[in-house]
Structure 1
């Protein structure tokens, strides 16, 4: 119950009760919260106090509001460390999650001047263009567009890229992926991203572009990924 004699503000007490329900799993990601009226009646407090508590939890990203539908528990974000070069498949498996990919496009295209420069190949040289939806436990996390020189990585097929591309490159072709440069920025989504990531027009995304190289310095790939900002975050471990 709410202790109305406590020096702790009533709205804060309600916030802590809702947080505890989320932390213990009583309220799961995607669950709808009771209405403001229901909370007000249950704890015999004003709806204004309830509204303040819920607004604070929305601002802290424990909850989110959907216009015309109500307030829901936020989906837990996947956290990706930025101190190592790993594939999406490796990253999800390390978290005990089941990764999967849905291949939506696979073909060899002539490299544009920009892409040729990033891959260190001749303009119009053959490049694999691979588009995949990356999922964790069946939930879409990212739309990924990968570009690799077809002269460097030969024999690539749709079946291979449906699984783990890195595993094929390193374990079958014996090419060692050594390093990468990654740039991340926030953006609004386009129609393709909204379609495959199942997000609304106003929902933000995180854009990531990575250029990876082999141990001998050969440019290996350019990856352009669009991550759902409500389900993914990046973490950097800094040391002085």
Structure 2
């Protein structure tokens, strides 16, 4: 697995300081230049780390004034996810705690829906990936993902057992630009009953998304499903966005 990016390491350091009370809520963080010098990284790396913490709802930026600490979101539980993160489950909850069971991994031609979502021709091959994501061994999320083979070459089971997003960002140097996301409630299907240990007609929370690269090319169409009592999504809104 690729080494963790510097900005993720910086984000983890700053997040721990926030959680430990080193940086207290409603107080400004040190400026980017100071943090860059202390942590021996570039200001761009610090900026990317702060952008990630802002998406998580831990800090907010005020134009002309700097970056301020919000602290942990009061209504967010440990397993909940900000609805706007791009980092992937392993980076969000910790790569040592998250494991992946590969249920399906095939290369095939896309159906009409996948062609539409990923802007592909019927002759453009895609990966069809279904994984069960476990947290500390317990089933948490059932993911079904389609990705164009030409944009994500050489995907293999070793990568799928770890983090696809790390492979995209660090190995292939792909950068995300936009994600369209729809969150809805539905009922448990056969897959949910088998892999999420859901009961028939249990409520299921589904996140459907299309992720685009920074050049506008769709790179992922996926659904992520979890039992109603296992995980929620949190939205942060501030006037500084």
> Partner of 2:168 in structure 1?
169
Q: Distance in 1 between matches of 2:78 and 2:195?
A: 18
Asked if 1:78 corresponds to 2:79, the answer is: yes
Q: Distance in 2 between matches of 1:104 and 1:125?
A: 23
Native 8 Å contact 1:133 1:196 kept in 2: yes
Q: Distance in 1 between matches of 2:163 and 2:115?
A: 24
Native 8 Å contact 2:189 2:201 kept in 1: no
Gaps of 5+ in 1: 1-75
Q: Distance in 2 between matches of 1:228 and 1:202?
A: 11
The alpha carbon displacement at 1:191 in A equals 1.1
Native 8 Å contact 1:108 1:126 kept in 2: yes
Q: Distance in 2 between matches of 1:78 and 1:106?
A: 26
Q: Distance in 2 between matches of 1:209 and 1:147?
A: 12
* Aligned pairs (5 A) from 1:30-49: none
Q: Distance in 1 between matches of 2:123 and 2:111?
A: 6
The alpha carbon displacement at 1:83 in A equals 3.2
Q: Distance in 2 between matches of 1:145 and 1:202?
A: 20
* Aligned pairs (5 A) from 1:69-218: 78-93=79-94, 98-218=97-217
Gaps of 5+ in 2: 1-76
* Aligned pairs (5 A) from 1:18-57: none
The alpha carbon displacement at 1:179 in A equals 2.1
Asked if 1:219 corresponds to 2:203, the answer is: no
Question: 1:172-199 CA distances to partner (integer Å, 9 max, x unpaired)?
Answer: 1111122211101001111111110011
Question: 1:182-231 CA distances to partner (integer Å, 9 max, x unpaired)?
Answer: 10100111111111001111321101111001111111100111111111
Native 8 Å contact 1:197 1:228 kept in 2: yes
Question: 1:14-53 CA distances to partner (integer Å, 9 max, x unpaired)?
Answer: xxxxxxxxxxxxxxxxxxxxxxxxxxxxxxxxxxxxxxxx
Question: 1:105-136 CA distances to partner (integer Å, 9 max, x unpaired)?
Answer: 10001111110111011124200001000111
The 1:92–1:152 alpha-carbon spacing in structure 2 relative to 1, beyond 3 Å, is same
The alpha carbon displacement at 1:97 in A equals 6.9
Native 8 Å contact 2:83 2:233 kept in 1: yes
TM-score (norm 2): 0.64
Give aligned pairs, total.
Answer: 163
Native 8 Å contact 1:118 1:222 kept in 2: yes
In the TM superposition, structure 1's runs of 4+ consecutive aligned residues that sit over 3 Å from their partners are none
Native 8 Å contact 1:77 1:231 kept in 2: no
The alpha carbon displacement at 1:77 in A equals 6.6
Larger radius of gyration between Structure 1 and Structure 2: 1
Native 8 Å contact 2:181 2:210 kept in 1: yes
> Helix, strand or coil for the counterpart of 1:182?
strand
Q: Distance in 2 between matches of 1:202 and 1:140?
A: 18
Native 8 Å contact 1:77 1:230 kept in 2: no
> Helix, strand or coil for the counterpart of 2:191?
helix
> Partner of 1:41 in structure 2?
none
